[in-house]
Amino acid sequence: MSEGKSYQDLLVWQKAVTLTSDVYKTTGFFLDEEKFSLTQQIKRSAVSVPSNIAEGWGRNTDRSFGHFLSIAKGSLYELQTQLIIANRLDYINEQTLNELDSKIVEISKMTSSLMKKLN
């Protein structure tokens, strides 16, 4: 962790916030009966990613930060799975799935890289 910087300066956090915004916009088009099941689970997974990056940063130790980055990475895989399910249920099309998935993969790689730097 670098002194004087904020978690908001981390590119991975910025990209995770953008992904979360994209997910919220996408789920706004889901069927009304989905608003309180898969939609909410997708939103929780998405918002968990930048939230855990921020929380880990706030713990002020590399070990804690690494732990929360690991949680964020798990949330990315959870989100990825839920979006695949949404696609199979025809809530999102293949293009939207691919666009969101490419962001997930990029953030996952960035998270892994950051975790390696901490070790």
Per-residue pLDDT of 41-69, as tens digits, reads 999 999 999 999 999 999 989 999 999 99
CB atoms within 10 A of CB 110: 19
Q: What is the pLDDT of residue 34?
A: 72
Class of domain 8-118: mainly alpha
Q: Is 22 exposed, middle or buried (0-12, 13-18, 19+ CB in 10 A)?
A: middle
Threshold 0.85, pTM exceeds: yes
Hey, CA dihedral for 51, 56, 57, 58, is it positive or negative?
A: positive
Rounded to the nearest 10 degrees, how much is the dihedral formed by the CA atoms of 18, 113, 76, 51? -60
Tell me how long the chain is.
119
pLDDT digits (tens, 9 = 90+) for 78-117: 999 999 999 999 999 999 999 999 999 999 999 999 999 9
CA–CA gap between residue 58 and residue 77 (Å, rounded)? 23
Domain ranges of the chain: 8-118
Q: Is-contact 56 64, C-beta < 8 A?
A: yes
